[in-house]
Amino acid sequence: MGPSASVVPKEDRRPRGGIYRADKSRTNLSDPTKLVNSPVIAAVNTQEAFETALLAPTRCLFLLTGNPLVLPAMLKRAQDSGKLCLVNMDFIDGLSRDRFAVEFLAASGVAGIVSTRVDTLKSAQGCGLMTVLRTFGIDTAAVTAAKKSLVQFRPDAVEVLPALVAPRVGRSLREAYPELTTIGGGLIETVKEIEALLADGIHAITTSNTRLWLI
């Protein structure tokens, strides 16, 4: 063997820029209508809640729990149960929020990414995943920051917390982006509150209250 010959098997040669490339068959995941096929999205923050969510009627899950050791199996179980499963990367243990973490989740079968970080969502979009920008409607400054984020990046949907201010914030955001899908999350306690939010222009809500996953 000459000195210039490579000893690395062809199958082990991977692009240095990352190991995951978006499968064209996955690009149809980036469709906000899939997020709101049911009005209630289960916000799953414990393993026990995950087991409950798999059996609940809701068709979409936001995972706020897990680590690299368990997430691939959780994503597979959710998929096998017919659930659209997105991961909130701001809450996951053992993963940074960089491009390689997104690629790991994409290769593990995640449908989309939720985050407050635009760079993370840009990486997710590059992998053909759904993207949800999580933002807060606590004051005018927070809403202004959300508008600036939308100038940089257009996600598939925006999740506004707390949910009770989501209609007002959503209307403000849709003045510039009329087609924006808006999700309300947090501090929802009753079915009547959900009905009022949906009637007021919110496309869906997220909640960790398992009693409300039956809608």
Encode pLDDT of 56-71 as tens digits: 999 999 999 999 999 9
State the Cα–Cα distance between residues 128 and 82, nearest whole angstrom: 19
Encode pLDDT of 98-134 as tens digits: 999 999 999 999 999 999 999 999 999 999 999 999 9
Query: Regarding predicted confidence, which is higher, 25 or 123?
Result: 123
pLDDT of residue 96 exceeding 70, the answer is yes
pLDDT of residue 93: 96
Encode pLDDT of 168-215 as tens digits: 999 999 999 999 999 999 999 999 999 999 999 999 999 999 999 987
State the Cα–Cα distance between residues 178 and 171, nearest whole angstrom: 9
Judged on CB neighbours under 10 Å (0-12, 13-18, 19+), 153 is middle
Within a 13 Å sphere around the CA of 58, how many CA atoms are in the beta-carbon half?
Answer: 30
pLDDT of residue 99: 96
Structural domains present in the chain:
38-214 (3.20.20.70)
Q: What is the mean pLDDT of the chain?
A: 88
- Closest by CA to 88, choosing from 66, 103, 73, is 66
Q: How confident is the model at residue 165 (pLDDT cuts 50, 70, 90)?
A: very high
Within a 13 Å sphere around the CA of 139, how many CA atoms are in the beta-carbon half?
Answer: 1
Average confidence (pLDDT) over 28-33: 59
pLDDT of residue 132: 97
Distances (CA, A) of 112 to 72, 172, 197: 14, 25, 24
CB 60 within 8 A of CB 87: no
pLDDT of residue 142 exceeding 90, the answer is yes
Judged on CB neighbours under 10 Å (0-12, 13-18, 19+), 45 is middle
State the Cα–Cα distance between residues 203 and 171, nearest whole angstrom: 12
Q: How confident is the model at residue 31 (pLDDT cuts 50, 70, 90)?
A: low
State the Cα–Cα distance between residues 72 and 36, nearest whole angstrom: 24
Beta strands in the chain (DSSP E): 40-44, 60-63, 84-88, 112-115, 130-136, 157-161, 181-185, 204-207
pTM: 0.86
CB 185 within 8 A of CB 161: yes
pLDDT of residue 35: 81
